[in-house]
Structure 1
Amino acid sequence: MSYFTILSVFLLYWLLVIYLDKRGTLSKYNITAYGPILMIRTQRGQRFLDKLSIHKKFWRIFANIGLPAMLTGMLVMFILILFIDYSIITSFQTETVPHPGKFNEPRNIFLIPGINEYIPFAWGIIALVVTLMVHEFSHAILCKVEGIRVKSMGILLALIPIGGFAEPDEEQLLGKKEDTGEKDVEPKATRNQRIRILTSGVMANFVTALIAFILFFSLLGSISPVGDVMVTGVTPGSQADLAGVKQNMILTKINDKQIDNAHDAFTYTSSLQPGSNVTLNLIDKSEEKEISFTITADTRITEGVRVSDVVPASPAEAAGIKPGMVLVRVDSTEIRGLEDFVRFMESTEPGQKIDVYMLSNSSESASTEVFENIELSAYPYDRNAKKGFLGISYGGGAEIGPLGIGIGEFGANEFLGMLKGIPSSLTGFRGWILLFSLPIIGLAGEGFPGFSGLIVHFYEPVGWAALLGDGTFWILNILMWIGWMNFYVGLFNCLPAVPLDGGHVFRDVMTSSLSRIIGNGEKVERLSNAIVILFALTILMSFIFVIIAPYAAHGF
């Protein structure tokens, strides 16, 4: 969807909001419009909240645990922001500022499905709704526990859900009079009660993320790879095409010869004689197929590494390498398969310049294109790595002429193993970074949106999950996005910036700490507010800096 289309739909929505607001339709249904943002309130659910809040001791312990969790998240997020700022400033000095790309686009900073291109719309909406519900419901429950009236609950809508809220009585919670002009009064809630109410939302997000991730990584054991070799293309009019071989089928056997990788296919096919019969065992969307045909006299076999994707803002993208090209040579090294390419890259270092030879396509008229003097960058996903980084996602293999098909190697078993290994890596900082950036960077720079698209072809549910069929992948996607969204929103709300929960908690903690040093009074309140505003401005300017720095270095 283009920016123009998104903007046009949004403007039409905004005009509709203005029209309904002027007619009084919105206020009739207890909806308030703040520009294009709708605040949709409801009084329903009060009895349900009363029932949930009966176990006061449990909820207070739950919220009390949330305070150290929030303070830890607050420290981690603030240090991370300062580290990113420091890295960008250093890159200006060394002239290594990354080019503008997807990572720093404003649309991708906010978790809005349909706007953020890393978040699938359907799974993103489900995850966002769950995230908002658990966050705001926990605030409402703690208000009930602490005796604070909940006036309403609801969602914030700007064409799609962008937030949720539980609306407590501000006079009871904060001591603020609402639009009466009267002087603020002493709040009913104590500082500890207010902190518990505020931390409960973040705690609920973290707990929801933990449960979702536990279920996600447990369910990974119920899917199994069906093969590593995929048909990436079929030559029009070839015997394979006429026999019914289709793109995206998984190749498992040739004449009962097990095919575990692209090299197996190349090796076995080279021994076949023109005119002989061949039988391919294939899997098409979980359905096993056996297709037989006669091979042609074409004995051409092109080996190499097929580029399945190009990492944004990488040296490969800057050089003009495109998905679908086949890498056949780097400098003087012939690349016959994935192993050759990996071995070569292991011998490189950041700053090294290489010449890359690519086949522009896999047809008979494929031509070799040379990309000269590509300067490798530092490996972005492991700062301890000494090898250079080109920035391509790959699959082994290209075209097998005798069969009239092109193949690519995915490494489904290895990929699944890497996913399953994420929980064990959480003992270190790198594991948390990997989990936090999984949908954006993925395991090898290509991003992981979940089990959808081509990746689903490589796996099948096994055991009890086989009864669910494709529903297994739907459940995995929902769990992954609920876990990731809650984890991200929980951390984001830890930031010490008002109006986020972390900002309010930071102010209360700061006020409490300063009171022990210089006593209570207006001076402490003013100083606490000034510190909180300073942190909020620092964080806001950091976000703006991250967005504009690549454009400032390379032009808008």
Structure 2
Amino acid sequence: MNALTDLFAGNTLLLVLTGVLAYSAAAMWLRDRGVLPEAVRVSGPVLTLRTLRGRAFLNRIAAPRRFWRAVANLGLGGALVAMVASFVLILSSALSAIRTVQPSAIQQPQNFLIIPGVNDFLPLSVAPEIIAGLGIAMVIHEGAHGLLCRVEGIDIESMGLVFFALLPVGAFVEPDEEATQEASRGARARMFAAGVTANTLLTVVVFALLFGPVVGAIAPAPGFAVGEVTPESPAAAANITHGDRLVAVGDTPVDTPDEFETALAAAGETVQITAEDGDGTRTVTVTRELHVIGSAGGNPLGVTIESDPVGITAVNGAPVSTEREFLDAVGDAERATVTVDADGAANATVASETAEIPIGAYALGVQEGGPLNAEGAPLGEPLTIVSIDGDRVRTNDELSTVLADREPGTTVEVVGYDTADERVTYDVELDPHPNREGGFIGVTVFPGSSGLALDDFGASQYPAGTYLELLGGDGGEGGTGGVALSNLTGSPLGLVFASLILPLGSLFGLPFNFAGFTGVLTNFYVVEGPLAVLGGGTFLLANLLFWTGWINIQLALFNCLPAFPLDGGRILRMVAEAVISRVPVSDRHAAVRTITVSSGLVMLAGLIMMIFGNQILSALGLI
């Protein structure tokens, strides 16, 4: 019994499938005994609810026919563009999936399902908002089809919703088939494009509300937002957890992450930290220890971190427990003797417990054609940079600071140690930095010192301000500065694109996937202005708008795929009929069928290869 319980607890997908089977059995049992109303039809886990209610309402709002036709014509043009783009996107994604030896997280089969808790990017905590957004999207989509039916004089036989188990997965409008065939080709095309048009317009409305008054009322809360705590770190030992907001270091209040880092750097080995969570404020004592929590390949110390950190106990014989003590012990010397303690780090490799190494910013590689490469620095080989024009450099941050003070076009002396531990110098003319002010020498640098990511606390920041700014809000001092996606916030289309990829943030260089203002994340934000009277309701409203917009645009794009029975497939048939009617072909019906069936088969093959291509090729031994 315990083994069975453990199996279900560790496999969400298996639990969901079991629930679906139980629901299907119960629904079919009720159907067979005539318990269900006539309007409800059951086929396995699929339940269909049919009705004619709402038809009179559609008749009333269909009165301004010219207006609705004009809107539908605009939507039809957009749908045609989206059809071509989606066709190209599916094929290119399928080819990419085939060529990828190790599929990314987004290519895992469960991540193609918009099911919270099953999809790795959609947490269960936002299931109500996702389900509500999905229901709104489907009702709007099918309602628009019904509206254009009435605008074009096509009668409606029935309307309804489709449920998979308890989840709304579709809606439908059944136009009268004979009336549909009698309508003009343009009328049918507008009717088929109406759903996509409505979803797009709804996306514009909900994102306008989200980016405007709702997100505008939300601001980052003061303090350091804890996004993750390293296991067995000093912070973990002090019971600091994800969702905490650190608001004071000792007697020093901190309002921003930078203030926290500055105060922590100035503190000693033992420090008092004031933390706030949903239950209130508490003060904890943190005893700091210096750890290597990440490593670059080929680093001078020869440390490889897989999961367990490695402790640094001394530099030049002096005990160290913080990053500041580490740098103070190194001083201005280019090299230092570092002592590590690998006890308990089973998933780490240490070449030697004590070694003399150069201490500097660790360049993972030299860019081809960059300033350093132009002066003879070899490509593909790491370089430990210890000084720039006489200014000592010990970390990646110090390298950035030194170069920020140099004008592009000036020549500086770069001193470093190569992979053979030989001291090398280069006279380099600086290029402009691609992302900020100052000079650029053409290298990619690993965080920390000498290829070692150092940490003496064990808590990483949740970039609350960054996510808020990517949604059009004011991120304050914790905004998008230096973030790769920061250039998206300057236009409405950029904000829409940012919102679409935020749930997949980890794939785009962000430290966490953003699922909305939910759970402990609400501790990282405060509500200001007129919406403050709603309190936590503002977060609920923001989540509903976020997921409604996200699902609407996904539904619109999916329905643009040129494959039957999707709207894109029906529009493709209208286009094919219009083109073939002007071509001297003996069997026009067969030609149209060939075009539509071929497109559908290509789309189906593309989707299968996107989801299962890597697994299929692996099973065949082709990769």
TM-score band, normalised by the shorter chain?
0.7 to 0.9
- In the aligned structure 1, how far is the partner of 2:545 from the partner of 2:539? 10
Q: Which moved more, 1:442-451 or 1:78-87?
A: 442-451
Offset, 1:387: 8.7
2:348 pairs with one of 360, 363, 370: 370
Relative to structure 1, is the Cα distance of residues 489 and 292 closer, same or farther in structure 2, using a 3 angstrom cutoff?
closer
The aligned counterpart of 1:444 is: 509
The aligned counterpart of 2:140 is: 134
CA RMSD of superposed structures (Å): 4.3
- In the aligned structure 1, how far is the partner of 2:493 from the partner of 2:17? 44
Contact 1:234/1:247 (<8 A) preserved? no
1:189-204 correspondence to structure 2 within 5 Å = 189-204=183-198
Contact 1:53/1:144 (<8 A) preserved? yes
Offset, 1:62: 1.4
1:66 pairs with 2:54: no
1:516 pairs with 2:525: no
Offset, 1:366: 6.3
Letter in 2 for 1:471: G
1:248 pairs with 2:243: yes
Task: Provide Cα deviations, 1:225-251, integer angstroms capped at 9, x if missing partner.
Answer: 124524667999x99999x98763311
The aligned counterpart of 2:56 is: 47
What TM-score results when the alignment is normalised by the length of structure 2?
0.65
Offset, 1:456: 2.2
Contact 1:225/1:460 (<8 A) preserved? yes
1:272-311 correspondence to structure 2 within 5 Å = 281-285=274-278, 289=281, 300-302=288-290
The aligned counterpart of 1:416 is: 468
- In the aligned structure 1, how far is the partner of 2:309 from the partner of 2:469? 26
Letter in 2 for 1:472: T
Relative to structure 1, is the Cα distance of residues 335 and 193 closer, same or farther in structure 2, using a 3 angstrom cutoff?
farther
Letter in 2 for 1:130: I
- In the aligned structure 1, how far is the partner of 2:600 from the partner of 2:470? 38
1:477 pairs with one of 540, 543, 551: 543
Task: Provide Cα deviations, 1:526-554, integer angstroms capped at 9, x if missing partner.
Answer: 21111111010001011111222222455
Task: Provide Cα deviations, 1:59-116, integer angstroms capped at 9, x if missing partner.
Answer: 1111111111101111111111121133234x2xxxx5224x6422333213344543
1:116 pairs with 2:119: yes
1:549 pairs with 2:549: no
1:211 pairs with 2:205: yes
SS, match of residue 460 in structure 1:
strand
1:168 pairs with 2:172: no
- In the aligned structure 1, how far is the partner of 2:532 from the partner of 2:83? 42
Relative to structure 1, is the Cα distance of residues 66 and 230 closer, same or farther in structure 2, using a 3 angstrom cutoff?
closer
- In the aligned structure 1, how far is the partner of 2:86 from the partner of 2:207? 21
Q: Which moved more, 1:79-88 or 1:418-427?
A: 418-427
- In the aligned structure 2, how far is the partner of 1:128 from the partner of 1:388? 43
- In the aligned structure 2, how far is the partner of 1:235 from the partner of 1:533? 54
1:11 pairs with one of 21, 36, 42: 21
SS, match of residue 113 in structure 2:
coil
Relative to structure 1, is the Cα distance of residues 98 and 492 closer, same or farther in structure 2, using a 3 angstrom cutoff?
same
SS, match of residue 516 in structure 1:
coil
Contact 1:397/1:407 (<8 A) preserved? no
The aligned counterpart of 2:478 is: none
Letter in 1 for 2:529: G
What TM-score results when the alignment is normalised by the length of structure 1?
0.72
Contact 1:398/1:408 (<8 A) preserved? no
1:221 pairs with one of 216, 219, 222: 216
Task: Provide Cα deviations, 1:228-281, integer angstroms capped at 9, x if missing partner.
Answer: 524667999x99999x987633112231343634532432322x8x7xxx8755
SS, match of residue 205 in structure 1:
helix
1:537 pairs with 2:601: yes
Runs of 5+ consecutive residues of structure 1 not aligned to the other structure: 174-186, 308-318, 341-357, 378-383, 391-395, 401-405
- In the aligned structure 1, how far is the partner of 2:16 from the partner of 2:341? 37
Runs of 5+ consecutive residues of structure 2 not aligned to the other structure: 1-10, 296-303, 313-319, 327-339, 352-363, 366-433, 436-441, 447-452, 473-485
2:85 pairs with one of 47, 53, 76: 76
- In the aligned structure 2, how far is the partner of 1:141 from the partner of 1:54? 10
Offset, 1:303: 6.0
2:31 pairs with one of 15, 21, 24: 21
- In the aligned structure 2, how far is the partner of 1:492 from the partner of 1:247? 36
Q: Which moved more, 1:225-234 or 1:108-117?
A: 225-234
- In the aligned structure 1, how far is the partner of 2:145 from the partner of 2:490? 32
Contact 2:290/2:321 (<8 A) preserved? no
Task: Provide Cα deviations, 1:337-370, integer angstroms capped at 9, x if missing partner.
Answer: 8xx9xxxxxxxxxxxxxxxxx999xxxx864742
1:351-370 correspondence to structure 2 within 5 Å = 367=345, 369-370=347-348
Offset, 1:508: 0.4
Q: Which moved more, 1:136-145 or 1:34-43?
A: 34-43
- In the aligned structure 2, how far is the partner of 1:432 from the partner of 1:389? 32
Relative to structure 1, is the Cα distance of residues 550 and 389 closer, same or farther in structure 2, using a 3 angstrom cutoff?
farther
The aligned counterpart of 1:97 is: 101
Relative to structure 1, is the Cα distance of residues 456 and 320 closer, same or farther in structure 2, using a 3 angstrom cutoff?
farther
Query: Could you tell me the percent identity over the aligned residues?
Result: 28
Relative to structure 1, is the Cα distance of residues 239 and 546 closer, same or farther in structure 2, using a 3 angstrom cutoff?
closer
Contact 2:203/2:550 (<8 A) preserved? yes
Offset, 1:283: 3.2
Relative to structure 1, is the Cα distance of residues 498 and 398 closer, same or farther in structure 2, using a 3 angstrom cutoff?
same
SS, match of residue 41 in structure 1:
strand
- In the aligned structure 1, how far is the partner of 2:173 from the partner of 2:198? 14
Letter in 2 for 1:229: F
Letter in 1 for 2:252: D
The aligned counterpart of 2:154 is: 148
Offset, 1:143: 0.9
- In the aligned structure 2, how far is the partner of 1:327 from the partner of 1:137? 60
The aligned counterpart of 1:57 is: 66
SS, match of residue 535 in structure 2:
coil
SS, match of residue 517 in structure 1:
coil
- In the aligned structure 2, how far is the partner of 1:478 from the partner of 1:229? 27
Relative to structure 1, is the Cα distance of residues 550 and 526 closer, same or farther in structure 2, using a 3 angstrom cutoff?
same
Offset, 1:436: 3.6
Task: Provide Cα deviations, 1:316-346, integer angstroms capped at 9, x if missing partner.
Answer: xxx9956xx66989xxxx9988xx9xxxxxx
- In the aligned structure 2, how far is the partner of 1:88 from the partner of 1:282? 45
The aligned counterpart of 2:522 is: 456
- In the aligned structure 2, how far is the partner of 1:438 from the partner of 1:418? 8
Letter in 2 for 1:256: T
Q: Which moved more, 1:205-214 or 1:443-452?
A: 443-452
Task: Provide Cα deviations, 1:446-476, integer angstroms capped at 9, x if missing partner.
Answer: 4221112343222111222322211111111
Offset, 1:371: 6.5
SS, match of residue 147 in structure 1:
coil
Relative to structure 1, is the Cα distance of residues 532 and 426 closer, same or farther in structure 2, using a 3 angstrom cutoff?
farther
1:271-350 correspondence to structure 2 within 5 Å = 281-285=274-278, 289=281, 300-302=288-290
Letter in 2 for 1:171: E
The aligned counterpart of 2:96 is: 87
Offset, 1:57: 1.8
SS, match of residue 583 in structure 2:
helix
The aligned counterpart of 2:419 is: none
- In the aligned structure 1, how far is the partner of 2:309 from the partner of 2:225? 15
